[in-house]
Amino acid sequence: MSEFEYDLLIRAGRIVCTQTNLDGPGAVAIRGDRIVAAGGKIDGTSRQTLEFPNALLLPGLIDLHAHPAKNGSKYGVDPDLEFLPRGVTTVLSQGDAGAENWSAYRRQTIDESRTRVRLAINLSKMGEPEGGPCLRDIDWIDVDACCHAVIAGGDHIWGIAVNASRDGCLLDPKHVVRSALQVAERTGKPLLYGMRNPPDWPIAAQLELLRTGDVVTYLFRDGEWSIVDDQGQVLPEIRKARERGVLFDACHGMKSFSFRVAEAAFADGFYPDTISTDQYASHVGSEPQHDLPRTMSKFLAAGMPEYEVFARVGARPAKILGLSDEVGTLSPGACADLTVLAHNDAAAPLMDCYKRQRAGGCWETSLVVRGGQVQTTSSGSTSRS
């Protein structure tokens, strides 16, 4: 029998778990790949103890819309290089594979990544190939093939990704959405939906087709996409959809986050259900680096309460993914996925996709633990064995 009660003990100046309402100084104790205790006072011996007296410890961050793919997607990046070291332990792919390349995606990315990867399978059987929008050939929409892939994928496939915007779709968007809904109804899966440009198809008409549990992404775009009116009020069709159980993901990307729109929505009492990055190949090597902690910092700077931000990269996306008992929580028995963040007051200014800046500093990753194994540490910790 081991002389140690725990394999790893991590102490932090502040520990937050929105699922269990934990918020304060304390520690998380880990044995194997499981959390065995979390709270203000953890006694016992450990093989390794890490101390972060000036940092924040959260459940491993969950990114509900990004592009983890080692091969086969024009947007794809290696999740173990671009997500895990920056605090994301679970990531949902937005359409990086379709029915024709799903098996390869599972072998090469899901099975070979330390990061936990789930897929919203692309309605296009080609996934995200080079050469243009994924929905550019009517022959690439094969409802039967998509259904068969979803059934074969089991828990690895969360839902169906359909980006009906002009950037993603050269086909009739109404036909595309009807096809996606056929797959969703036949498989019992939700949609991850990118709306069509409103001048082509009114937002209200699009939202009326969506169901409880479907997720609308690209929430805080500006211009023709804005979900707030000229008086800064959230559009009634957006609120009506939420009342029906439609969910809203505020992904950032390179075109999809406006401080103006987000600040107006927050002032009107409307928060997203999840916060995500839409991080993809064009972000590699960006300065400052685009990642989920920086995206979280922008939502804080826009006026979203801190606790609400933490929930939307933890307990909320975990529930949407059907993983509430496993991730997004520090509950005993959950997988030992943890992220420690330190706040850098001197970080580069926070900028939206429209070149607007806000002050406020930035969260940066100090430690990542995935399945009980330490992935990265910074000099901001002390360790003893």
pLDDT of amino acid 233: 98
Domain end call among 296, 320, 344:
320
pLDDT of amino acid 1: 47
Mark whether 260 and 161 lie in a shared domain.
yes
The tokens for 320 are: 């949407």
Give domain status of residue 238, yes or no: yes
Task: Name the average pLDDT for the chain.
Answer: 96
Domain end call among 299, 320, 341:
320
Residue 321: pLDDT band with limits 50, 70, 90: very high
Mark whether 117 and 202 lie in a shared domain.
yes
pLDDT in tens, 264-313: 999 999 999 999 999 999 999 999 999 999 999 999 999 999 999 999 99
- Give the torsion through C-alpha atoms of 138, 207, 318, 282, to 10 deg: 50
pLDDT in tens, 374-385: 997 654 555 555
The tokens for 336 are: 């030992």
Provide the CATH number for the domain around residue 179.
3.20.20.140
CA-closest candidate to residue 167, choices 14, 55, 280: 280
Mark whether 372 and 286 lie in a shared domain.
no
Mark whether 235 and 304 lie in a shared domain.
yes
Mean pLDDT, range 74-83, rounded to an integer: 98
Mark whether 39 and 86 lie in a shared domain.
no
Whether residue 17 is predicted with pLDDT greater than 50 in this model: the reply is yes
pLDDT in tens, 161-215: 999 999 999 999 999 999 999 999 999 999 999 999 999 999 999 999 999 999 9
Give domain status of residue 372, yes or no: yes
Give domain status of residue 64, yes or no: no
pLDDT in tens, 224-242: 999 999 999 999 999 999 9
Mark whether 127 and 10 lie in a shared domain.
no
Mark whether 54 and 116 lie in a shared domain.
no
pLDDT in tens, 109-138: 999 999 999 999 999 999 999 999 999 999
Give domain status of residue 250, yes or no: yes
Give domain status of residue 1, yes or no: no
What's the CA gap between 72 and 22, in Å, rounded?
A: 41
pLDDT of amino acid 350: 97
pLDDT of amino acid 383: 55
Mean pLDDT, range 103-113, rounded to an integer: 98
Range(s) of the domain holding residue 14: 6-59+332-384
Q: Helices 259-267 and 292-301: crossing angle, nearest 10°?
A: 60
Mark whether 89 and 168 lie in a shared domain.
yes
Provide the CATH number for the domain around residue 348.
2.30.40.10
Mark whether 219 and 313 lie in a shared domain.
yes
**Neighbour-count burial for 202-237, b at 16+ CB within 10 Å, e otherwise:** ebeebbeebeeebbbbbbbbbeebbbbeeeeebbeb
Mean pLDDT, range 326-349, rounded to an integer: 97
153: number of CA atoms within 13 Å, CB side? Answer: 33
Mark whether 236 and 338 lie in a shared domain.
no
pLDDT of amino acid 3: 85
Mean pLDDT, range 45-74, rounded to an integer: 97
Mark whether 53 and 86 lie in a shared domain.
no
- Read off the pTM: 0.97
CA-closest candidate to residue 251, choices 277, 214, 224: 277
Residue 10: pLDDT band with limits 50, 70, 90: very high
Into how many domains does the chain fold?
Answer: 2
Give domain status of residue 325, yes or no: no
Residue 43: pLDDT band with limits 50, 70, 90: confident
pLDDT of amino acid 41: 86
Q: What are the beta bridge partners of residue 364? A: 342
Give domain status of residue 327, yes or no: no
Whether residue 79 is predicted with pLDDT greater than 80 in this model: the reply is yes
Domain end call among 290, 320, 350:
320
Mark whether 339 and 212 lie in a shared domain.
no
Give domain status of residue 67, yes or no: no
Bond from prior residue into 288 cis (ω within 30 degrees of 0): yes
What's the CA gap between 4 and 114, in Å, rounded?
A: 26
